[in-house]
Structures are given as structure tokens and as C-alpha cells.
Amino acid sequence: MSENCIFCGIVAGTIPSTQVASDDRAIAFMDINPATRGHLLVIPRTHSTDLREASAEDLTAATLLAQSLVGRVIERLDADGANLLSCIGADAWQSVFHTHLHVIPRYKDDPLQLPWHPTPGDLDEINATAATLT
């Protein structure tokens, strides 16, 4: 547990949240700054800054909980789909530095847009980058 982490406070029960699901390794609660109706956050109970630091067991638990919630938001909220998002680092929009997954229900008429418009990339650059990563 990190003393100054808002999500650790939610886990400890010292900061209020609207929880919708939990197990012994992860909890899910409503995002107070929702992108769409039903936007949830899923976090491991154990503090880690982001998924690079989280244990495999915590990531598995959070991902499985997120999976069940994706089904729930599509079925119960009549969503047309969902985005699962993890932001890693301030430049990637991470604002709370405790590993978390956003479950964002998507609706045909919602105003949320992708942060980029996919267009074909340079194949030589793609291959060179892939070689660097392998």
C-alpha cells in the first residue's frame, strides 16, 4: 500500500468509491470522471505503479475481473461494445499511479473518439521497429 495513493485509499476503505465487483486480488469501481455511461476502473488490491511493476497474479486477477465486467456492461447497459485501456506514464494519460484498467462501455452515439486515426504506416519503419523489439 502506498500512503499517498488514492486507489490504495479506496482499497483500504478510507476513500469512498462505488464498487461493483471484487475478489481477493482486485476490485472494480465506477470512474468518477466517466468517459461514457458505465465507465469502470479495475485495480489490483496490491499497489504497483503500472502494469510493468504489477505481479502476474495481480494482472491476471484484474484482467479476468475486467473481462467479466465487459460482458456485464454490454449486456446490462445495452452498450454496443467496450474499450479496455491501460495508461502507462503521464505522457500516456496516466493520472493515478496505481495499476488500473479502464473498462469503457461504447455506444453508437457516444461522443468519445479514438486519440488517433489509424492510417497505414511505413512498412520499412514497421519492420525495423519489430526487429528492435525481437
Catalytic residue among 47, 98, 100, 102: 100
Catalytic annotation present for 98? no
Say how far apart CA 18 and CA 10 lie, in whole Å.
Answer: 10
The three cell numbers locating residue 8:
490504495
The answer for residues whose C-beta is within 8 angstroms of residue 54's C-beta and 6 or more apart is 44, 46, 48, 62, 99
Say how far apart CA 120 and CA 87 lie, in whole Å.
Answer: 24
Spatial strand order in the sheet of 81-85: 19-22, 26-30, 40-44, 101-106, 81-85
Are the CB atoms for 10 and 22 separated by under 8 Å?
no
Residues that are catalytic:
100
